[in-house]
Amino acid sequence: MLRPVLTLGLTQIVGFGTIYYAFGVLVARMSADLGLTTTLSYGLLSAALLAGSLTAPWAGALIDRLGARRMMAAGSMVVAAGFALLSQVGGAWGLTGALVLIEMIAPLVLYDAAFAALAQAVGEGRARRAITLMTMLGGFASTVFWPLTLALQQNWGWREAYLTFAALHLLLCLPLHLSLPGGDRGRAETRSAPPFAPLPAPLHRRAMVLLALALALSWAVMSAFSAQWVPVLGALGLSQTAAVAAGALMGPSQVAARVLEMLIAHHRHPMMTALVALACLTLSVVLLALAPVGFASAAVFAVLFGVGQGLATTVRGTVPLALFGLRGYAARLGRLASLRMLVAAIAPFAMAGSLALAGPWITLGLTAALALVALALMAAVPWRVTS
């Protein structure tokens, strides 16, 4: 189990680091060189994310049909080509095309594809622990790529940084993806028995709809705060320094939550982790809205939010596997990802608009209500099967 976990943990660090985290470091200088505003560049990225939401179901179906090893390797080659194109763009149209290409192929190389690869490699019984370990490694993407991207830009330039990313996907991720187990996907179901009985087929549709809505709404809350954390706390009256200091607690909280999940919760149904994740997310927003403004309340929010976000990432992979089994697993992940990516592209702009038009308190109230609805939907997902 350790080899595919380490392999995919490394490719996820590169994948998330290059596809998502690096853009925020490079966008200002890149936009200036291309004669664009940073607002327009972020808007083009959001459009590309929307395009990616359309291809996620297709990516999942291909992984089920052809295997994660083959499709993740193909994804690495196309993403490398996308970054090579990105290093040569000369204006808005070129930037749009390169970003759209990368985001449309991203579902073949990021977490959902990696979840399927692990399940195919180790079987249902061991997949949950493998997914948790892999996401712990993937959580270091920002730690590695924020300083690395800044160093590349300062020493060579943003174009050279993107060429370096192309090389990483081609020379590192491609061989690693090709090293994954392949050719025996049919036997994955028998490698280790599933620890929990999947739902009966008549309950699949209801469970899938409720799960999709719960994950999408919770991801909207997480995406909005991830992008608007400092502006929200600034609107509440907290200084930028205090907001950043409190926000720094999110990362360690995510890692700690995943460690606890691996150590003490692996024998419990993943739906229990999902409910804890969304409860922490909801409580964090409610406390931020009701508690006196200050560093202490911001810090408590950051810790609870980090715990919820950290667990929610693993839940994306473990809950569908436990509820529906391995057959059609990647296709289900793709359908779930499509709606999640759609709201993730819209949510930051919706929160920014709400802050400008309605102010921070109404915005927090609406966000808390959204989190509560997500928790209620998750609680309604059928998962306790009685004979």
Give the Cα separation of 3 and 9 in Å (integer): 10
Contact predicate 223/343, CB 8 Å:
yes
Residue 365 maps to a domain: yes
- The H or E element that residue 56 is part of is helix 38-66
Give the Cα separation of 284 and 278 in Å (integer): 10
Structural domain total, the chain: 2
- The H or E element that residue 232 is part of is helix 204-236
| Segment among 52-66, 223-237, 265-279, 313-327 with least mean pLDDT | 223-237
Place of tokens 């998750």: 378
CA angle 50, 53, 59 (to 5 degrees): 145
Domain boundary among 134, 149, 183: 183
Residue 37 maps to a domain: yes
Residue 269 maps to a domain: yes
CATH code assigned at 145: 1.20.1250.20
Residue 385 maps to a domain: no
| Segment among 154-168, 212-226, 324-338, 340-354 with least mean pLDDT | 340-354
| Segment among 98-102, 156-160, 270-274, 290-294 with least mean pLDDT | 290-294
pLDDT in tens, 262-314: 887 677 889 999 999 999 999 999 998 898 888 998 899 989 999 998 899 88
Regarding whether 208 and 170 lie in a shared domain, the answer is no
Give the Cα separation of 59 and 39 in Å (integer): 30
Regarding whether 315 and 218 lie in a shared domain, the answer is yes
pLDDT at 248 over 90: no
Dihedral angle computed from the Cα positions of residues 314, 319, 324 and 328, in that order, rounded to the nearest 10 degrees: -20
Predicted local confidence at residue 385, as pLDDT: 64
Domain boundary among 117, 150, 183: 183
Q: Range of 222's domain? A: 201-380
pLDDT at 134 over 50: yes
- Residue 244: band (very low, low, confident or very high) from pLDDT cuts 50, 70, 90: confident
Which span out of 36-40, 75-79, 128-132, 246-250 was modeled with the highest average pLDDT?
Answer: 75-79
Regarding whether 278 and 164 lie in a shared domain, the answer is no
Predicted local confidence at residue 193, as pLDDT: 64
Mean local confidence (pLDDT), 47-54: 90
Mean pLDDT of the chain: 89
Regarding whether 102 and 46 lie in a shared domain, the answer is yes
Regarding whether 355 and 291 lie in a shared domain, the answer is yes
Regarding whether 209 and 157 lie in a shared domain, the answer is no
**65 phi and psi, to 5 degrees?**
-80, -45
> Which DSSP symbol is given to 286?
H
**Closest C-alpha to 50, from 335, 349, 341, 337:** 341
Regarding whether 242 and 150 lie in a shared domain, the answer is no
pLDDT at 56 over 80: yes
Phi-psi region of 359 (alpha: psi -120 to 50; beta: other; left: phi over 0): left
Predicted local confidence at residue 191, as pLDDT: 54
Give the Cα separation of 384 and 29 in Å (integer): 53
Regarding whether 254 and 178 lie in a shared domain, the answer is no
Regarding whether 141 and 7 lie in a shared domain, the answer is yes
Regarding whether 123 and 21 lie in a shared domain, the answer is yes
Residue 295 maps to a domain: yes
Contact predicate 64/331, CB 8 Å:
yes
Mean local confidence (pLDDT), 243-272: 83
Regarding whether 118 and 219 lie in a shared domain, the answer is no
Regarding whether 110 and 35 lie in a shared domain, the answer is yes
- Of residues 229 and 173, the one with the higher pLDDT is 173
Predicted local confidence at residue 192, as pLDDT: 58
